[in-house]
Amino acid sequence: MSLATYNERGNLAPLIAEIRKYAPNVDMLVVDDNSPDGTGRLADELAAADPRIRVIHRPGKLGLGTATLAAMRYAIDNGYDYLQNMDADFSHPPRFLPGILAGMANHDVMIGSRYVKGGGTENWPLARLVISRTLNTLVRFLFRMPVLDASGAFRCYRVSKLKVAHLERTLSRGYSFQQEVLFRCHLVGSRLGEYPIIFENRREGKSKVNQKEAVRSIAMILWIGVNHFFGLEDYKAR
């Protein structure tokens, strides 16, 4: 289980406690980007009390994409079978973990999906919902992936597939990371599945959505997608 954190002190302890209710035996990895609010120190305290918690401290705010890559490398290096990733702000409710994990019996990547039947979002403005659905439709078309929700981070990966997905070649560092890493898993033959979730608003702290980074990520998705769709780049060979 990987949790990337930046200023999530108010969420971290209750989130870990709730994860334990639905997935009691998982090991947890907290990747903290030197949070000014002391999230990293709290993570160390929780790890000292629970040997199944590990913490990676990074020198500054390096972004969700590189934090997730660090967790993937950790899972590969330490011989795990699965890596479950989720946000640390309660927008990914732990009650959906059993369904996502059960889906790994027949899949290599299980997506906590907002857009399959039974899934949804809570209190999203219409503009945000339209942008998200439009972007996912574009990704499905350009990347030729049979999924409805390619942009969410609530996912479980089979680590053996991550090993061969050429993660070191990932171009994205921001929001487009989720689409690109799913695409790279798809290219190496990963069976993709989706389980319905309700995406909820964070319980504590401020949203880290950055408009400039969102625009940059859309440009990256278009760059990779158009190059793949028209065969301008052979991503299987890269």
Q: Nearest to residue 6, comparing CAs of 208, 177, 202?
A: 208
pLDDT band per the 50, 70, 90 thresholds, residue 207: low
What pLDDT, on a 0 to 100 scale, did the predictor assign at position 119?
98
What pLDDT, on a 0 to 100 scale, did the predictor assign at position 48?
98
| Domain spans of the chain, in order of start | 2-237
What pLDDT, on a 0 to 100 scale, did the predictor assign at position 159?
98
Instruction: Write the DSSP string, 129-141.
Output: HHHHHHHHHHHHH
- What pLDDT digit, counting tens, does each position of 100-133 carry? 999 999 999 999 999 999 999 998 999 889 989 9
CA angle 161, 162, 166 (to 5 degrees): 110
CATH class in words for 2-237? alpha beta
- What pLDDT digit, counting tens, does each position of 182-202 carry? 999 999 999 999 999 999 976
CA dihedral 19, 25, 26, 28 (to 10 degrees): 70
What pLDDT, on a 0 to 100 scale, did the predictor assign at position 194?
98
Write the single-letter amino acid at 64: L
